[in-house]
Structure 1
Amino acid sequence: MMDLQRLRLLGELRSRGTIAAVADALSYSPSTVSHQLSELQREVGVTLFERDGRRLRLTEAAHVLARHADVLLARVELAEAEVAATAGAVTGVVRIVAFQTAAFLLAPVLADLAERHPGLRIETVMSEPDEALETLERRGCDLAICDEYEAVPRPRPAGFAFEELHVERVKLVVPRDHPVAGATPARIRDLESEVWAGGAPTESHGRLINEVCRRHGGFTPDRRHQTCDVLALLALVSARQAVTLLPELARPERDPGVAVLPIAGRPVVRRIFTAVREASLPRPALVAVRTALRAARSPAPEPPHATPPNGLHALNPSNL
């Protein structure tokens, strides 16, 4: 009989690539991970790993076993969730991965859950949206809070259940004395010669800036400053060193040195959504968390022809 925890380690090695990365992610020692994988190979009776320099390379047999492990672990999770549902008690641990701005949507929900379900323990980790779904897929968390922009939508992997939590517009942020600061709405094509600040091209915020400049302005932005930290972005814009795009939830208007403008043309929209593994859906603790988030979610913004509001929430996040 194969050990499920060893099968999980195999899946982690397939995803992360090295024993050291697996050990770091799961708080094991590398020697423990190596020993458990060796035991799994012994249990199976076929070669699962081959040395490739200092790394372990998975054999074809290992990839076959890893695919079966995904199914087995999902079935075990579903069984655990359905057994917990028969008891109906909202207890245990729910692990949530969210990007930092989303924490300001999540915090009031956590307060409500703590009052109504004292036996429920919720643990949160702040992480980039691009990493949240990967963490959920690896069973490193129970619920992920992600975002996407209509210009750069995220994939919807099979085996996950998704639910929209918050919808908001993205605004242009320029120095307060910028020539376009009085424009309502502002035209992106008027900013072709500007220096831009934003996320790296591989991050969602960086991809957003590239796509908006291409669609609305017909140019590739000169992005000299790469960061997703809202405070850093506002500092750069306020110092007249860059322009950027920020969603309403980031509340860029809090900085007196910037002007926050709607974008001319089709509104640029950001959607924030939750994702869970379908196998975990019956679990009462997760049902309680998703129900609370659903009750607190914001309405969609006004239709595209309407003038968008300046801000949805008086929050003070520091990151996208």
Structure 2
Amino acid sequence: MDLRRLRLLAELNRLGSMREVAEELAVTTSTVSQQLAVLAREVGTPLLEAEGRRVRLTPAGRRLAAHADTILAAVDAARLDLDPGAEPAGTVRVSGFATAVRRSLLPIITDLCLHHPDVRLQVLEHEPAEAYALLADDAVDLALTYDYTLAPAALPDSLQARPLWSAPWALGVRAAGGVDGGSAPEVFARLRDEPWIVNSRNVADEQVVRTIASMAGFEPQITHHVDSLALVQDLIAAGRGIGLLPGDQPVREGVALQPLRDPAVVLRSYAVTRRGREDWAPLALILRMLVDGAFDRGPGDRA
């Protein structure tokens, strides 16, 4: 069914006469009559019946007019939803790693509730490779991902990344043992016989460990694959291994952080979307708030 003909039917139901419909929509009365006749043929049932010198809707015409109101309202809502200049409304599906969700997404939720109540967030926790796959399948609208300066991510051409914030990473060791200073390869060389802990769901930190170990001239003994940073710290404190940890976050008792330099290990976070999707009003709003929030943290903490 043609939407223009449905609109004529809805207006006739509202106004009561073809003449008024013609005046309202700036067309001729004959145009209104002809188009409603075409609509009746399309649906296969009479929509109008004579009432003296006027016409009125048949019971089928009134039922279709009620549907027309719903259909036209839905079409208007869809157009408004796709208008970049419209007030943002809708559910934005976000896949991200836990640190970015806590650090970037949670701080903007209060502002969203206060100033943009029609924008809702659906949060899923995933590592970057998983998030990229979800974006490719159109299962999420936004991915919060990361890489390291020593293990840069290869982004598919279909995706677009916006840098958010960065953070130094360090080597987590037992507090009782301690490690003297020096360059990252020198630190690694002194710990070459230790068991190493790497991420179970992302290979980036393992690439960093293997890269620095290669600079130090040895092959690291990867013993544990663990996703939870809290569990990494528990293993370190128990003397079961060593691994990379955020250098700007507190650690539990029994764990010490050994800074890494020459080369430094820096985690870089990104907001990633499919190309061409960033103009959708709710997503554009979230991206703007994420980028503004990253810059509010200061120049030493943004990518």
Confirm or deny a common fold (TM above 0.5): yes
**RMSD value, Cα:** 2.4
What is the aligned partner in structure 2 of residue 265 from structure 1? Answer: 262
Match of 2:167 in 1: 168
- Aligned mates of 1:276, 1:201 — CA distance in 2: 21
Query: Which residue of structure 1 lines up, in the alignment, with residue 73 of structure 2?
Result: none
Does 1:254 find its partner at 2:251?
yes
8 Å contact from structure 2 (residues 81, 281) kept in 1: no
Identity %: 23
Alignment check: 8 A CA contact 1:130 1:204 kept: no
Cα distance, 1:208 vs. partner?
2.5
Alpha-carbon distance in 2 for matches of 1:258, 1:278: 42
> Which whole-Å CA distance do the structure 2 matches of 1:188 and 1:165 have between them?
29
Q: Distance in 2 between matches of 1:107 and 1:293?
A: 10
TM-score, normalised relative to structure 1: 0.63
- Contact 1:92-1:121 within 8 A present in 2 as well: yes
Q: Is the 8 A contact 1:146 1:274 kept in 2?
A: yes
User: For 1:276, which of 258, 273, 278 is the aligned residue?
Assistant: 273
Look up the equivalent residue of 1:267 and give its one-letter code. A
Q: Secondary structure at the match of 2:196?
A: strand
Question: Structure 1: which 5+ residue stretches go unaligned?
Answer: 1-79, 303-311, 313-320
Post-superposition shift, 1:81? 8.7
For 2:220 and 2:274, the matched residues in 1 are separated by 37
Q: Map 1:107-186 to 2 at 5 A.
A: 107-180=106-179, 182-183=180-181
Equivalent residues in 2 for 1:218-297, closer than 5 Å: 218-248=217-247, 251=249, 253-297=250-294
Distance 1:201 1:273, change over 3 A: closer
Pair 1:102–1:88, CA change in 2 (3 A): same
What is the deviation of 1:280?
A: 1.1
Which residue of the partner structure matches residue 209 of structure 1? 209
Q: Alpha carbons of 1:81 and 1:287: their partners in 2 closer, same or farther (altered >3 Å)? A: farther
Residue in structure 1 matched with residue 71 of structure 2 by the alignment: none
Correspondences of 1:6-45 after superposition (within 5 Å): none
Q: CA deviation at 1:205?
A: 2.5
Within 2, Cα distance between the matches of 1:266 and 1:82? Answer: 50
Q: Using the alignment, how far apart are the partners of 2:158 and 2:255 within structure 1? A: 43
Secondary structure at the counterpart of residue 254 of structure 1? coil
| TM-score of the superposed pair, with normalisation by structure 2 | 0.67
Query: In the superposition, relative to structure 1, how do residues 301 and 214 fare at CA in structure 2: closer, same or farther (>3 Å)?
Result: farther
Alpha-carbon contact 1:169-1:301 (below 8 Å) kept: no
**Local SS of the residue matching 2:108:** helix
Q: Distance in 2 between matches of 1:145 and 1:184?
A: 33
Give the 5 Å matches for 1:67-146: 84-85=82-83, 88-105=86-103, 106-146=105-145
Q: Does the C-alpha gap of structure 1 residues 90 and 83 become closer, same or farther in structure 2, counting only changes over 3 Å?
A: closer
Hey, what's the Cα distance between the residues in 2 that align with 1:248 and 1:300?
17
Output one character per residue of 1:62-113: Cα deviation in whole Å (capped at 9) or x when no partner: xxxxxxxxxxxxxxxxxx7996225511101110000112111111122222
Distance of aligned partners of 1:300 and 1:149 in 2 relative to their CA distance in 1, 3 Å threshold: farther
Q: CA deviation at 1:299?
A: 4.3
Rounded to whole Å, the distance in 2 between the matches of 1:129 and 1:278 is 17
Larger radius of gyration: 2
Shift in alpha-carbon separation, 1:201–1:173, aligned structure 2, 3 A: same
- 2:97, 2:251 → 1: CA distance? 20
Quote how far apart the aligned CAs of 1:229 are: 1.0
Offset of residue 202 of structure 1: 6.0
